[in-house]
Amino acid sequence: MTLEILTSDVLSPLRHGFFTRRGGASSGVFQGLNCGGGSSDLSEVVSINRARVASAMGVAPDHLLTAHQVHSPDVAVADGPLPVAPRADALVTATPGLALAILTADCQPVLFADPEAGVVGAAHAGWRGARDGVLEATLDAMEGLGADRGDIRAVIGPTISQRAYEVGPEFLDSFLAEDRDNARFFANGNGDRMLFDLTAYSLARLRAAEIGQAVWTRHCTYSDPERFFSYRRAVHAGEADYGRLISAIRL
């Protein structure tokens, strides 16, 4: 099966892609394109999958760069292959020929580009990273490389949607403590449960940061098991592990 790569006109003409699970070499609960080295999948199979992604992005495997993601607001600047993945949740570069990649399985993969300045970025933004400022930190780092905030475009890829993202009252309280206006990103669920709109929250933060354009591809990871891995769906199904999707962009 060939790779399935979702793209957005917003990031044109730069090569980029939100890869689905289709077209990979993994099997079992990882069936398809599992690119998560932190999963319990066979490491050699993950390497095969990542090599396929690198080929699709037009780079050598060691030029497909990822971070050791820790749900932080930290950003790493790359100007060449990385011998060790930095502990960070976003990468930025102004160096042609490097593909910046993010791994997700419900959290938001966010790809950024200022084509005019020749600067790109990629961020992993779960609720914690988004709340703690990883999106704004990525913009700051891109500006440090010469990007103009008003020219930066951002696209959020396949992410868990509000209808599948049930949270408890303490989760809501933490967001209301930050800003009472955050109540608009929550809807009533069952009992004391609430449904959180992670993408709307992140789009609001990106737009408040006054970037040129910000959109979501409107793909829900939880509700489409044929195309996407989902941490929450795996937990609900009682599965021991789950695959990781990859999203990448390059100059």
Q: What is the pLDDT of residues 71-121, one digit of tens each?
A: 999 999 999 999 999 999 999 999 999 999 999 999 999 999 999 999 999
pLDDT of 1 strictly over 80: no
DSSP class per residue in the chain: ----EE--GGGTTS-EEEE-STT--B-GGG-B----TTSSS-HHHHHHHHHHHHHHHTS-GGGEE--B--S-S-EEE-SS--SS--B-SEEEE--TT-EEEEEESSSEEEEEEETTTTEEEEEEE-HHHHHHTHHHHHHHHHHHTT--GGG-EEEE-SB--GGG-EE-HHHHHHHHHH-GGGGGGEEE-STT-EEE-HHHHHHHHHHHTT-SEEEE---BSTT-TTT---HHHHHHTT-S----EEEEEE-
pLDDT of residue 168: 97
Domains observed in the chain: 5-161+197-250 (3.60.140.10)
Model-level pTM greater than 0.75?
yes
pLDDT of residue 175: 97
pLDDT of residue 139: 98
Q: Vertex 230, ends 195 and 24: CA angle to 5°?
A: 155
pLDDT of 195 strictly over 90: yes
- Asked if 217 and 158 count as a contact pair (C-beta separation under 8 A), the reply is yes
